[in-house]
A and B are shown apart, each in its own frame.
Chain A
Amino acid sequence: EVQLLESGGGLAPPGGPLRLSCAASGFTFSSYAMSWVRQAPGKGLECVSGISGSGGSTYYADSVKGRFTISRDNSKNTLYLQMNSLRAEDTAVYYCAKDGAIVVVVRFDYWGQGTLVTVSS
């Protein structure tokens, strides 16, 4: 059974850092691209960042480019999102999502339960 378990969310001050993790199980982690998708309270979904199975290819939404860094440790079956220079508009539930192929094809067939990030002083 595929399982994705996010952690690391919480309250962070504006301008501060936060690191999200997503522990994966039930599939060959290195064989699939992964992404982070967020949803601000009462709003729609936004693709934040994605990474290929090898880690060699990444993408970022313009809204987070230069501030967020996606990475993965295939030996630990874990996906990460390092978030720096946080802004109030980064407040959202962050989901990790498994893609449908080793390269980024944006077909998110499994999702975690989400972790809430609140940026506030």
Chain B
Amino acid sequence: DIQMTQSPSSLSASVGDRITITCRASQSIRSYLNWYQQKPGKAPKLLIYAASSLQSGVPSRFSGSGSGTDFTLTISSLQPGDFATYSCQQSFSPPYTFGQGTKLEIK
């Protein structure tokens, strides 16, 4: 199985900050990488697919990059609604594993 490892596990930041979350795959997954946002008690929301494609309706302050084994999610200027947990997921081969999540908290 492909292991997905995110760092950091948690992150404190302020409104207006630029933050980056990293996701590393245990083997190459080319660009088969999705990013999701999840708020407490809610279903995940797709932000980025194919490593860098912005899902329809998602603000442009969210961006993704990377290929192979190393990927990043960047939020250019944090807004109050962005404080949530972010998870990466590989869509390269089954089982389609997720990272353990990065909890983004208000500083």
- Which residues of A approach B to under 8 Å, CB–CB? 37, 44-47, 50, 59, 61-62, 95, 100, 105-109, 111-114
Contacts and interface: CB of A to CB of B under 8 A. Distances in A.
B43 A45 contact: no
Given A44-B98, A47-B98, A106 B43 contact: no
B34 interface: yes
Interface string B69-107: 000000000000000000101010011111111000000
B16 interface: no
A107 B49 contact: yes
Interface of B: 1, 32, 34, 36, 38, 43-46, 49-50, 55, 87, 89, 91, 94-101
A107 B91 contact: yes
A109 B46 contact: yes
Given A44-B87, A45-B87, A108 B46 contact: yes
Given A106-B34, A109-B46, A114-B43, A45 B89 contact: yes
Given A61-B94, A112-B43, 20 more contacts: A44-B99, A44-B100, A45-B87, A45-B89, A45-B101, A47-B94, A47-B95, A50-B96, A59-B95, A61-B95, A62-B1, A62-B95, A106-B32, A106-B89, A108-B36, A108-B44, A109-B46, A111-B43, A111-B44, A111-B45
A40 B64 CA distance: 27
Contact of B91 (A37, A44, A46, A106): A106
